[in-house]
Amino acid sequence: MLRAIGPITGCELLAQDGLIGRCRDFLFDDHDWSIRWMVADTGKWLAGRQVLVAPAALGTPDWRGRKLPLRLTREQVEQSPPLAADAPVSRRWERAWFGHFGFPHYWEGLGAWGIGAQLEPEARHEPGLEPSADEGDPHLRSCQELIGYHVEASDGPIGHVDELIVDDGAWRIALVVLRTRNLLPGPRVLAAVGAIAAIDAAQRLVTTPLGRDDIRDSVAYSPGRPVTTDALEQARGQLGRLSARA
């Protein structure tokens, strides 16, 4: 199903033998918008460490109870490769994490996380874009940070990123919610991730080839209401019309 990222953050994280904390954020790859890591807030339990969990280690969510089960024990999480708080996520650390738990590397398999049959198949990472062993991946971004970035349309500013919509089956961001404060009356609308041309962290800016009129006519979004697959297809169809005009 398609779900807003906002309500997912704060969900309890349940290891196989007890609570480890709550979901704080998600890190995604800005090339294919796949969720690569869930950021856990473990409180004082593992203070000073950044605790990340790959989607491959998540069980079936209990959305009604706001719980995310893990296919890991508390001891496994505690003994996972340490990563200093706010440290960049390097390829060396990722290799250590996946090796520790015995999961395949997402960049080497056919699926979004290298496990093909269990998750939606997608293209592999382009080798030339892979980070070096010790450098942080420049394409790994925080969902919570992206929310609030200003949005520049092809013909001027329109507002900001208000929410992200994730496919919880494939763990991939499918839609971006734009709050069009610069367009009266300033509704929230849906844009396919393919409509995002660039993300500039330094400027806290997202650019899109869509024009202000395109965005004004986009599919409306109402917080708290389910996002349907029809809405997703309509947003994607907008990209097709844009390409036809080019």
Give me the pLDDT at residue 94, please. Answer: 86
CA distances from 4 to 132, 197, 210 (A): 32, 21, 22
Count of C-beta atoms within a 10 Å radius of residue 32: 16
Name the one residue in this structure whose structure tokens are 């996380």. Answer: 113
Phi, psi of 49 (to 5 degrees): -115, 145
Domains of the chain: 2-141 (2.30.30.240), 147-245 (2.30.30.240)
Tens digit of each residue's pLDDT (9 = 90 or more) over 193-229: 999 999 999 999 999 999 988 888 899 999 989 999 9
Supply the pTM of this predicted model: 0.84
Tens digit of each residue's pLDDT (9 = 90 or more) over 20-49: 999 999 999 998 999 999 999 999 999 888
Which of the two residues, 149 and 108, has the higher pLDDT score?
149
Q: What percent of the chain has pLDDT over 70?
A: 83
Tens digit of each residue's pLDDT (9 = 90 or more) over 10-23: 999 999 999 999 99
pLDDT higher than threshold 90 for residue 145: yes
Tens digit of each residue's pLDDT (9 = 90 or more) over 35-92: 999 999 999 999 888 898 999 899 999 999 999 999 999 999 998 888 888 788 888 8
Which residues is 111 bridged to in the sheet? 121
Give me the pLDDT at residue 124, please. Answer: 33
Which residues is 175 bridged to in the sheet? 165, 192
Q: What percent of the chain has pLDDT over 90?
A: 58
Please, how many CA atoms are within 13 Å of residue 184, restricted to the half-sphere of its CB? 0
Give me the pLDDT at residue 64, please. Answer: 93
pLDDT higher than threshold 80 for residue 132: no
Question: Which range among 73-77, 113-117, 181-185, 222-226 shows the weakest confidence by mean pLDDT?
Answer: 113-117
Give me the pLDDT at residue 129, please. Answer: 40
DSSP states of 77-117 as a string? HHTSPP-BTT---BHHHHHHHHHHHTPPPTTTSSBTTS-TT
pLDDT (average), residues 158-169: 94
Give me the pLDDT at residue 207, please. Answer: 97
Give me the pLDDT at residue 81, please. Answer: 85
Using only the alpha carbons of the chain, give its radius of gyration.
Answer: 18
CA distances from 125 to 63, 87, 102, 145, 179 (A): 31, 23, 20, 23, 31
Mean pLDDT of the chain: 84
Give me the pLDDT at residue 76, please. Answer: 92
